[in-house]
Amino acid sequence: MGGECGEVQLRSAGAVESFARFVARWTERASVDGIDEEAEGDDSDEEVGEDDEDVDEDDTDDSNDEFHSVNSRSPTPSPPAPATPSDEKPVLRIRRLAFFIPPSQLSKDFPTTSLLSILSAAAASLVHLHIAYAETLLAHDPRIPSALVALSSISDLVLSELGPKGCETLKSLTAPLEHVEVDFDDAWVESVTCASFAKPTSSTLVPALPNGESSGLPTPAPTPATTPAAPYANTVLPDPVPLLSHSMATLRSLRASNAIIVTVADKLRYPCVRTLALRLAGVPTVTPLVHAFPSVTDLYVYTPFDGCGLRAPLSLPMSSHAQLERPPSPSPSPTSTGNHHKNQNKNSKRRMRPPMPDIHATREANRTSQVYSSFPPLACVRGFAPGLYALGLSCAVHRLEIGSMSPPSLGGQEAGAVRKLLADTMPASVNLGLGRGWWGSEWRRERTRGRERGLKAIFGSASSEEANASGAWSGVSELVVRVEEPGRWKHVTNDLLVMILPLANTLTTFVLHWDRTSVPFDRASSDDDRDDYQFPPPSPSASAPSRTERFARTVAEQMPALRYLLVEILHDRRRPPYAFNFDAVAKSNSPLSGHGVHDDDGQRRYERRFWRIDRSEEFLCLDPLSEGAARRLMEAEGLTFEDRVRYR
Please provide the DSSP assignment of 525-569 as one string. Answer: ---HHHHTS-SSPPPTT--PPPHHHHHHHHHHHH-TT--EEEEEE
Span 352-356, average pLDDT: 65
Q: Which residue has the higher pLDDT, 298 or 50?
A: 298
Give the end of a domain, one of 271, 286, 310: 310
> What pLDDT does 312 receive?
33
Q: How far apart (Å, rounded) are the C-alpha atoms in residues 296 and 439? A: 38
> What pLDDT does 458 receive?
78
> What pLDDT does 206 receive?
36
**Highest-confidence segment of 278-282, 294-298, 453-457, 640-644:** 294-298
Residues 449 and 577 in one domain: yes
> What pLDDT does 25 receive?
86
Residues 512 and 630 in one domain: yes
> What pLDDT does 65 receive?
52
3-state secondary structure (DSSP) of residue 151: coil
Tell me which of 65-79, 265-279, 353-367 is least confident: 65-79
pLDDT above 90 for 383: yes
pLDDT in tens, 584-636: 444 434 333 455 544 454 567 889 999 999 988 778 899 999 999 999 999 99
In the chain, the N- to C-terminal Cα span, in Å, equals: 42
> What pLDDT does 160 receive?
96
* Amino acid, res. 260: I
> What pLDDT does 489 receive?
87
Span 276-295, average pLDDT: 94
**Structural domain includes residue 296:** yes
**Highest-confidence segment of 49-63, 391-405, 514-528:** 391-405
pLDDT in tens, 391-415: 999 999 999 999 988 877 655 578 8
Q: How far apart (Å, rounded) are the C-alpha atoms in residues 427 and 592? A: 33
pLDDT above 90 for 17: yes
> What pLDDT does 474 receive?
83
- Residue count of the chain, please give it: 648
**Structural domain includes residue 266:** yes
Residues 304 and 407 in one domain: no
Q: How far apart (Å, rounded) are the C-alpha atoms in residues 291 and 297? A: 14
The band of 520, judged by pLDDT with boundaries at 50, 70 and 90, is low
Side-chain-side CA neighbours of residue 319 (13 Å): 0
Residues 627 and 494 in one domain: yes
Domain that holds residue 291: 180-310
Number of domains in the chain: 2
Residues 597 and 498 in one domain: yes
Give the end of a domain, one of 310, 340, 359: 310
The rounded Cα 597 to chain-centroid distance in angstroms is 30
Q: How far apart (Å, rounded) are the C-alpha atoms in residues 495 and 447? A: 14
Average pLDDT taken over every residue of the chain: 75
The band of 217, judged by pLDDT with boundaries at 50, 70 and 90, is very low
**Structural domain includes residue 215:** yes
Q: How far apart (Å, rounded) are the C-alpha atoms in residues 573 and 575? A: 7
Span 492-506, average pLDDT: 88
Span 478-490, average pLDDT: 89
pLDDT above 60 for 541: no
Percent of the chain with pLDDT over 90: 45
> What pLDDT does 57 receive?
38
Span 504-516, average pLDDT: 93
In sequence order, which ranges of 228-339 are alpha helices (DSSP H)?
240-243, 286-292
Residues 408 and 540 in one domain: yes
Q: Which residue has the higher pLDDT, 506 or 42?
A: 506
* Amino acid, res. 196: S
> What pLDDT does 104 receive?
94
> What pLDDT does 385 receive?
93
**Structural domain includes residue 162:** no
Q: 422: Cβ–Cβ under 8 A, 6 or more apart, which residues? A: 400, 430, 472, 473, 476
**Structural domain includes residue 95:** no
Give the end of a domain, one of 286, 310, 334: 310
**Structural domain includes residue 409:** yes
Judge contact between 400 and 430, C-beta under 8 A: yes
CB atoms within 10 A of CB 612: 17
pLDDT above 70 for 305: yes
pLDDT above 50 for 339: no
Judge contact between 318 and 216, C-beta under 8 A: yes
**Structural domain includes residue 324:** no
**Structural domain includes residue 438:** yes
> What pLDDT does 106 receive?
93
CB atoms within 10 A of CB 592: 13
Residue among 2, 9, 53, 57 nearest 27 (CA): 2
The band of 14, judged by pLDDT with boundaries at 50, 70 and 90, is very high
> What pLDDT does 199 receive?
55
Q: How far apart (Å, rounded) are the C-alpha atoms in residues 359 and 385? A: 12
